[in-house]
Structure formats: structure tokens, C-alpha cells
Amino acid sequence: MDEVVGPPVLELDGVSCRVPGRDLFAGAELSLGAGESVAVTGASGSGKSTLLMCVLGMAEPAAGTVRVAGADLYGMPERRRVRHRRDHVGMVFQFGELLPELTPVENVALAGLLGGQGRADAYGEAKSLLDELGVPTGSSPATDTLSGGERQRTAVARALINKPSLLLADEPTGSLDQEHRDSVAELLFSLPRSRDCALLLVTHDPAVARRADRQVAIAEGTLLPVAASKDRA
């Protein structure tokens, strides 16, 4: 569809998905390279989450192929797909989905430990990421004492700890006020270049979407490109 900035990290080739009552995407094509960001917009219920699940390897498309980091996601056995996801994909959820009992460092390190990192590496990387993203870690605050923005930054750090080549974000600013929304959005859209990964971000907020390198919209079940307009303000 568009010019790829770096080597392709995500490629959708003729992808169609079927959900109860309707067909989605109608053979969608999308290519996303390292260092590039794409925002997916659309009305509620348009299929944005289905697209993310398809890319995550959790909803097999009715037709077409989904390639992540060069591998056909649905052409591999389930166990390998899970490992491939672990090695190449990170995700930021709308509500953070952090464990409130753990400290931010522990929340981030947990993903690293589960991803196979050693203890020292996981905790060191977690602290470093949180420091870099401006989340307080000094006195080991409990996660549920953080502000909404800090919680989302922690979720971003967690998504980054396994050094993904593809970063997915599902309405990451949906639950934040404007100030926090802007800071989290700025952080997210800076990551493709600073971390050499691709970012696929789902949002219904045009202001956030405009920050992406490219925008696509889901309308009437079809994935359509939106006129390029990048607003990093």
C-alpha cells in the first residue's frame, strides 16, 4: 500500500476475517516496516480489535496470510506461533492490564522473566526502561498508586522489555486525560525509531492517529488508507 521505511515486520496479504454476522477486511493488504508507525482508526465495532487479534496470532483469518518478522503466523504450529509472538511482538493494552499487587519494576520484569530473560537482565532492563519512560521506581511504589499515565508508561515498558520487532497498541490512550494522552502518544510514536520496531496502533482518537506515519481506517468492513498527514505537535 505504502512505501516501507525499513525491512517489513508486518505484512498482511489478502487478509479477510469472519466474525459472527459479517466478513471483515475484504482481502486487506498492509505492510509495515521497522521504524514505521501505522494508526488504525474506525468506529466502535468496526473490527479494530479483530485486526489486532489477527496480527497477534489469536484469530486465524478466513483468507490470506499474516507475516510477522518474515514468518507466516498461521502457517506454523500453535506452539511455534506462541514462541514467535513472544520473540517478536509486544502489546500495550487499553487499561494497561498490570498486576496491581506488583511494583512497576516487577510488572515489567515479569514479562522479561516469562520471556526467558535472566533475573538480573530482566530487573535491570525493567528499571532502565521505567527510568527512561519517567515512571518512578525509587521507593518501590505499588502499581495501583500510579497515575493513569504512569500506568500506561509501565505497560509500554512491559511491552518493550522483550525487544519486540512489532509493537501493538490497543487504544493505549483511551482511558487517559488529555495531558497524559499526549505524553503517552508521544512516547509511543517515538519508539519505532528509537527502538527500531514497527508500531501498529489502534485508536478512535484522530489527534492520536495523526501522529502516525500512516493511517488506515476500517470502514464498512474494509481496510482503507487515509490521506497521509503526520502531526507530531
Residues of the shown chain interacting with another protein in the complex, contacts defined by CB under 8 A = 48-49, 52-53, 56, 58-59, 82-83, 85-86, 89-91, 93-95, 97, 99-102, 106, 110-111, 113-115, 118-120, 122-123, 142, 144, 158-159, 162, 170-171, 174, 202, 204
Cα torsion for 161, 163, 165, 167, to the nearest 10°? 10
In single-letter form, the type of residue at position 24 comes to: L
CB of 103 to another protein, least distance (A): 9
Q: Which amino acid is at 48?
A: K
Question: Which of 83/230 has CB closer to another protein?
Answer: 83
Task: Provide CB contacts within 8 A for 147, sequence distance 6+.
Answer: 180
100, 56 Cβ separation under 8 angstroms: no
**Residues 48, 218 contacting (CB under 8 angstroms):** yes
> Min. distance of Cβ 48 from another protein in angstroms?
4
Distance from C-alpha of 43 to C-alpha of 160, rounded to nearest angstrom: 28
Find the shortest distance in angstroms from Cβ 3 to another protein. 26
Nearer to another protein, 193 or 204 (CB): 204
Of the pair 95, 233, the CB lying nearest another protein is at 95
